[in-house]
Amino acid sequence: MSSGQNFFITTAIDYPNSRPHIGTAFEKIGADVQARFQRMQGKNVFFLMGNDENTIKVARRAAELNLDAKAYCDEMANQFKEVWRALDISFDDFIQTSEPRHHKCCKAFTQKVFDNGYIYKGGYEGWYCEGCEAFKTDKELDEKKICPSHKTPAVKRMEPCYFFALSKFREQLLSFYEQNPDFIQPESRRNEVLALVQSELKDVNITRSGQTWGIPVPFDPEFTIYVWFDALLNYITAIGYAEDDAKFNEYWPADLHVIGKDITRFHCALWPAMCFAAGIAPPKKVFGHGFVYVKNEETGDVQKISKSLGNVVEPMDIITKFSAEAFRYYFLRECPFPADGEFSLQRFMDIYNSDLANNLGNLYSRVVGLIGKNYEGELKDIKPSDELLFEKENLKSIVSQVQSLVESCHYSQALQKIWTLILDPANQYAEKTAPWTLVKTDKEKTKIVLVQLIEAIRIAAVLLKPFLPKLAEKLYTSFDFLTPWASINYSEALKAINSYSGIKILAELENGKVKPLLPRIQKLA
């Protein structure tokens, strides 16, 4: 994905008017897999996340709580970071748009675009959705002027403002899309953006008047900068725009923006045009992922996550009851990143028990337990054997397939490959050879079987490293493999351990028994 050794990846910044829900977390996990994968590839990754704070909704929420807006934003940023850390999201920076560094960047960028002749004063009248913090076209509302996203009526609004001359960039955008066919991913999002730019690209209002919370327009402080023209700039604030040219030039343009499909048009039309207007390169790629819907356990209905429907599920509730690894696995496996997915607690339990507890967890426990009980925790003097669970060329093909799927953000398919091509065959091999029985009559032959199963666990651990970082590390460091975990990359999966003369388990044992790595979930409550 990246042409050099640097890899700059971002997620959408979030409104902190409430804590993150599972849909928000889905995006962050997906971006984290990519960041971790790119680090494994040897890239110098800069992974940016943050909160979008200069909004009416945030100021209103702070007022409801009788809090200063900045104090409220700082507290919510701490809560967001708490959730992201609990999910093992490996972000390098967390930007708050109320920070002085962002104000400085935003003012400098806006002044630059104004000086280049792409901002002009006028007046705007239209239908405005306060939930989206955006004016809506008639096509974007129903016949009653209801916003489909927020189910609330848009209001007729007229105000003096400054416009960004977006319409001037139609041909440049279309040319950019043609020259960079992979810029918008997946393909379905590309078609939507092309249609918008070809037929509906209009100049956009980029300011508000009469607002005390926000960033003042540098050339007319009676106005504040409108949320999208402000929010999109977070991507360059964190890498030093208008402050640290060396850092900015090192990381920009961004390799990948990871966003929800509902804000694709802002990132794929408005944002590149803003970059053109300021004289900087546009980002290299934008990936618009799908949504997570919640399935009602009683009715079976699938609903969009909504406070009004009372179906908001907070990540910390699941992490606390189960684990971060269980959370990450479910959403990465069950919700295809480019498309929409569903969440239900029953399905969560079923997937966890079948894939993690029964399949991977049981394989691990059997192997470690057998070595602990029958070989005092170490397989010594392993004799060379022609028996291979995974032939070299076959394994090379599997690793290549998984690598390609991860790189293109097809995480569900990548995990499916790991299970069907590595873990399922390993479990079938275990059932066929029955080492728990074989060990009673032929301990030498059982060693050969156990080495093959250890190899399957090692390969799975390597391939799972970007997905389930803590679990993968636990699997790998349960054995005395030579390569340190920190330096493991996907090519390590291809290095066979058959040449080892011995292998020792480092997992903690109690009376020769291993503590279950992934205990089954017996009930949801």
Residue 443 resides in a domain: yes
Residue 247 resides in a domain: yes
Which residues span the domain enclosing 157?
6-289
pLDDT given at position 5 = 93
Among residues 289, 305, 340, the one where a domain terminates is: 289
Q: Which residues pair with 122 in a beta bridge?
A: 161
The mean-pLDDT minimum among 21-30, 180-189, 398-407, 513-522 falls in 513-522
pLDDT single digits (tens) 427-470: 999 999 999 999 999 999 999 999 999 999 999 999 999 999 99
Question: What is the total count of domains within the chain?
Answer: 2
Nearest to 360 by CA among 190, 147, 519, 480: 519
68 and 202 share a domain? Answer: yes
pLDDT > 90 fraction of the chain, expressed in percent and rounded: 74
Residue 299 resides in a domain: no
**pLDDT higher than 80, residue 299:** no
pLDDT single digits (tens) 11-26: 999 999 889 999 999 9
Other beta carbons within 10 angstroms of residue 42's beta carbon come to 11
359 and 269 share a domain? Answer: no
The mean-pLDDT minimum among 234-243, 297-306, 512-521 falls in 297-306
279 and 354 share a domain? Answer: no
153 and 245 share a domain? Answer: yes
62 and 157 share a domain? Answer: yes
270 and 402 share a domain? Answer: no
Residue 92 resides in a domain: yes
Kindly state the average pLDDT of the residues 316-327. 92
Residue 310 resides in a domain: no
| Cβ-Cβ contacts under 8 Å for 448 (sequence gap 6 or more) | 382, 383, 385, 387
Mean of the per-residue pLDDT values for the chain? Answer: 92
pLDDT single digits (tens) 479-514: 999 899 999 999 999 886 655 678 999 988 777 678
120 and 243 share a domain? Answer: yes
pLDDT band at 1, cuts 50/70/90? very low
Residue 336 resides in a domain: no
258 and 374 share a domain? Answer: no
Q: 3-state SS of 136-158? A: ECHHHCCCCCECCCCCCECEEEE
**pLDDT higher than 80, residue 236:** yes
263 and 376 share a domain? Answer: no
The residue with tokens 């700059």 is: 8
pLDDT single digits (tens) 33-66: 999 999 999 999 999 999 999 988 898 899 999 9
355 and 280 share a domain? Answer: no
34 and 180 share a domain? Answer: yes
Residue 98 is part of a domain; what is its CATH number?
A: 3.40.50.620
Kindly state the average pLDDT of the residues 387-413. 94
Kindly state the average pLDDT of the residues 351-355. 96
With b meaning 16 or more CB within 10 Å and e meaning fewer, what string describes 497-522? Answer: beebeebbbebebeeeebeebbeebe
Residue 422 is part of a domain; what is its CATH number?
A: 1.10.730.10
Residue 307 resides in a domain: no
Using alpha carbons, list the distances in angstroms from residue 275 to 179, 182, 263, 373, 516.
17, 18, 17, 63, 52
Residue 489 resides in a domain: yes
250 and 394 share a domain? Answer: no
With b meaning 16 or more CB within 10 Å and e meaning fewer, what string describes 69-87? Answer: beebbbebbeebbebbebb
